Structure 1
Amino acid sequence: MIPWLAYVEIAVAAAAGLLAAVSGLLGRRPSDLTLGGAALVEVLLIAQIVVAIVAPFTGNSPTGNPLEFWVYLVSAALLPAAGIAWALVDRGRWSTVIVGIACLAVAIMLYRMLVIWTVQQA
């Protein structure tokens, strides 16, 4: 896991989450902006999966439990996709809030993944 990439992903996920959650609480339905933010978070998570596969071969191995890291990463990759699917099925304001909550959860999970990769002792 590359720390600067993780921080960029955390910032994008938090921004997309706040945007979608506030939009939903203001009564707005899912839009290209809110769903696009969640889609960007998903693309960044796919990039993180590629980086996590390649990093150990370049000498950047996790210091924590790799299984725990991968469970977090796969779970985080499923959240934005599930939120987008929910928003496409239910076009109400609460589905926009759900997309925001999913992105905020991804931001928290990414921080935990960074801690697992860089700080913990195996």
Structure 2
Amino acid sequence: MLWGYDGWFWASVVLGALSCVICLVQAARGRAPDDFSQGSVLVLEAFLLVYAVGSVFLPVLGPDPSGSLLEYWGYLLTALLIPAGTFVWSLVERSRWSTLILAAAGPVVAVMVYRMNFIYYYQ
């Protein structure tokens, strides 16, 4: 069933994994949040904003959702808040632990997009 997911899901997996690896490497080096770690999370947030714009047009231009559209939008809004929240955290607390918090955003976004695809196409 995994191979049936669209390119947006796979893009989230790649971007989330890259962001996670970048942040984990920076944390292992003992670095506070910097342009690389924070920038990778901002790229995730930008991806989710584009995903949200596409989600507005998806019911009109694409297939009808098979699951709850309200649940889908709940997941999407929550996914939008996670990278933003970790970014704000990294601005407030400038330690290597904040870099680890930034690393968590990538896998969480990938899981959220996986669930959104499941709700929209397969439920």
TM-score after normalising by structure 2: 0.89
Distance in 1, Cα, partners of 2:114 & 2:10 = 8
Q: List runs of 5+ in structure 2 lacking aligned partners.
A: none
Residue 79 of structure 1 corresponds to which residue in structure 2?
82
Q: What is the identity, as a one-letter code, of the residue corresponding to 1:89?
A: V
Q: List runs of 5+ in structure 1 lacking aligned partners.
A: none
Note the C-alpha offset of 1:25.
3.5
2:48 corresponds to which of 45, 49, 66 = 45
1:60 corresponds to which of 52, 63, 72 = 63
Aligned residues: 119
Q: Is the 8 A contact 2:12 2:109 kept in 1?
A: no
Instruction: Describe how 1:1-122 pairs up with structure 2 within 5 A.
Output: 3-120=6-123
Q: What is the identity, as a one-letter code, of the residue corresponding to 2:56?
A: I
Distance in 1, Cα, partners of 2:112 & 2:25 = 21
Q: What is the identity, as a one-letter code, of the residue corresponding to 2:31?
A: R
Note the C-alpha offset of 1:78.
0.4
Deviation per CA, 1:26-52: give whole Å up to 9, x if none: 312111111111000000000011111
Q: What is the identity, as a one-letter code, of the residue corresponding to 1:6?
A: F
Q: State the identity as a percent.
A: 34
Change (3 A) 1:61 1:18: farther
Q: Is the 8 A contact 1:30 1:92 kept in 2?
A: yes
Output the aligned Cα RMSD.
1.5
Q: Post-superposition, which runs of at least 4 consecutive aligned residues in structure 1 deviate over 6 A?
A: none
Note the C-alpha offset of 1:58.
1.0
Q: What is the identity, as a one-letter code, of the residue corresponding to 1:54?
A: F
